[in-house]
């Protein structure tokens, strides 16, 4: 039973527009969070603790414990502050000021030591030592949560990279920091640099799976769902075999995301942005992405149901996992939009074979009531996502039928006008040729411009004569009945 303080916290958060998950997710918190390491582990615990009333206390206590294992005092303050607001009566809420002060001194001493060493390397002009000094300093800033200075250190490290592996390491460090920083444009820039150098650097080729995952995450964050889906579904399957419990496994990327996340992110983005043919060819028949879908079989089933036009079953699966996805660090901000696009596309695909369908049948097909489906359909028609009319008297959705006869008439008139204009221009050209106004190409026929005109000098000499000729030509066209005359239709 949630306390009144806890209820007040989540009510206030909901009023501020933050999603609050009232139902219990399917995953076990300990098993779920054990798949991650690094900063994302803490960030996910903090998000769950501030979004789920049922898991708030457990998640925030785990977040406090996780923060104390590192050196980022800011993380510890954020976790204890949230826990204090949600459950102030808990004895473990009291901040450990001794640890905080001791850690702050250690961080400052370590930073001063690294900066002193770097100055010494610069004085000795040892390029490799300077590069390593900046690398150590950037990692130190990253560990303590000073992401701005971490980016600066890695940026200065660029000038001292002498081998391809140094360039790859530097860009990959920048990708990690930029993801934690939420600077998605910088993530895309670093990924593109590594991809462009992949033909030259063997080190970059070994990182293709991580680069695809990072680029997909950046595109997801920017709302480019189709591009994100294409990145995720083309992720090299070597990441799917990574050992998440082994920090030394080079294929593991669980400091950012797990192979399960690749399957979920890629599957949802594909459902929201691809049609049924694309889902079949690019997702279900994709041998590279199959390794990831096997880790999340419910995503594969949902896509298969959508492809086979079983939209209600597809949406039912997605709704059953909605609580889990609302507690995901990267999906939470986009889940409502993704689900809305998937549902709208399902309604569009369901309606295509019908000329009309009752709202009752539509509501039954999508497992909802008539009022809800009426609001959804009305919204889609207003956005022009659905080409139909809503008959509220008979409560029927009617497809708009194009008048074929009118379209044929319009097409015939358009062709007649084009033919009339073409004929008029051709006759005008014939008249100009008869009057000797053809301009010959230079060097052809032994003459220059006006070579075919015997009276070229006279034509060029008097503008009044030219005007008179054009008037006479127009009169001839009028008398011949060719001007303004088109073919009979």
- Name the stretches of the chain with pLDDT < 50: 1, 444-471, 474, 476-489
Distance of CA 367 to the CA centre of its chain: 29
Q: How many contiguous H segments (helices) and E segments (strands) does the chain have? A: 25, 3
How many CA atoms within 13 Å lie on the side-chain side of 347?
31
Burial class (CB in 10 A: 0-12, 13-18, 19+), 478: exposed
The backbone torsions φ and ψ at residue 390, rounded to the nearest 5 degrees and listed phi first, read -110, 115
Q: Facing residues of 391 across strands?
A: 396
Q: Provide the CA 133 distance to its chain's centre, in angstroms.
A: 36
Q: Give the DSSP letter of residue 358.
A: E
pLDDT at 208: 87
Structure tokens at 463: 């503008």
Structure-derived torsion over alpha carbons of residues 149, 247, 208, 268, reported in degrees to the nearest 10:
-90
294 C-beta neighbours (distance < 10 Å), count:
12
pLDDT tens sequence across 268-278: 999 999 989 99
Task: Output the pLDDT for position 474.
Answer: 46
Find out whether 38 and 255 touch, Cβ atoms under 8 Å: yes
pLDDT in tens, 199-248: 555 666 678 889 999 999 999 999 999 999 999 999 988 888 887 777 77
Q: Which residues pair with 39 in a beta bridge?
A: none
Of all helices (H) and strands (E), which one includes residue 391?
strand 388-391
Neighbours of 313 (CB within 10 A): 16
């Amino acid at each position: 039973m949630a306390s009144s303080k806890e209820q007040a916290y989540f009510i206030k958060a909901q009023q501020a527009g933050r999603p609050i998950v009232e139902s219990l997710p399917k995953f076990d918190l300990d098993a779920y969070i054990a798949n991650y390491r690094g900063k994302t582990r803490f960030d996910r615990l903090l998000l769950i603790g501030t979004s789920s009333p049922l898991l708030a206390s457990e998640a925030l206590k785990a977040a406090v414990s996780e923060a104390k294992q590192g050196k980022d005092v800011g993380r510890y303050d954020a976790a204890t502050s949230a826990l204090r607001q949600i459950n102030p009566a808990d004895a473990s809420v009291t901040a450990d000021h001794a640890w905080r002060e001791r850690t702050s001194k250690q961080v400052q001493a370590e930073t001063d030591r690294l900066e002193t060493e770097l100055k010494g390397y610069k004085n000795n002009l040892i390029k490799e030592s300077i590069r390593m000094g900046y690398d150590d300093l950037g990692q130190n800033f990253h560990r303590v949560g000073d992401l701005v200075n971490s980016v600066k250190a890695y940026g200065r490290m660029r000038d001292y990279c002498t081998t391809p592996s140094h360039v790859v390491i530097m860009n990959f460090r920048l990708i990690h920091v930029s993801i934690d920083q939420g600077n998605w444009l910088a993530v895309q820039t670093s990924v593109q640099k590594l991809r462009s150098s992949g033909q030259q650097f063997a080190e970059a080729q070994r990182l293709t799976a991580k680069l695809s995952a990072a680029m997909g995450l950046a595109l997801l964050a920017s709302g480019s769902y189709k591009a994100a889906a294409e990145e995720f579904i083309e992720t090299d399957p070597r990441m799917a075999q990574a050992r998440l419990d082994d920090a030394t496994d080079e294929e593991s990327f669980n400091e950012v995301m797990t192979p399960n996340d690749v399957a979920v992110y890629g599957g949802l983005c594909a459902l929201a942005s691809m049609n049924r043919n694309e889902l079949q060819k690019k997702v279900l028949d994709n041998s590279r992405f199959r390794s990831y879908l096997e880790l999340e079989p419910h995503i594969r089933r949902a896509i298969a149901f959508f492809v086979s036009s079983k939209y209600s079953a597809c949406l039912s699966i997605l709704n059953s996992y909605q609580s889990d996805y609302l507690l995901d660090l990267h999906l939470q901000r986009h889940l409502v939009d993704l689900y809305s696009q998937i549902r709208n596309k399902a309604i569009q695909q369901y309606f295509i074979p019908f000329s009309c369908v009752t709202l009752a049948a539509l509501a039954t097909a999508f497992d909802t009531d008539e009022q809800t489906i009426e609001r959804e359909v009305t919204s889609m028609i207003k956005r022009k996502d659905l080409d139909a009319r809503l008959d509220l008297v008979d409560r029927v959705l009617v497809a708009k039928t194009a008048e074929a006869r009118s379209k044929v008439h319009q097409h015939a008139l358009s062709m007649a006008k084009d033919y009339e204009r073409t004929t008029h221009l051709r006759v005008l050209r014939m008249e100009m040729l008869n009057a000797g106004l053809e301009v010959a190409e230079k060097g052809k026929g032994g003459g220059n411009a006006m070579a075919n005109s015997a009276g070229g000098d006279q034509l060029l000499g008097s503008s009044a004569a030219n005007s008179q000729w054009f008037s006479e030509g127009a009169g001839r066209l009028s008398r011949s009945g060719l001007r303004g005359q088109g073919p009979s239709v």
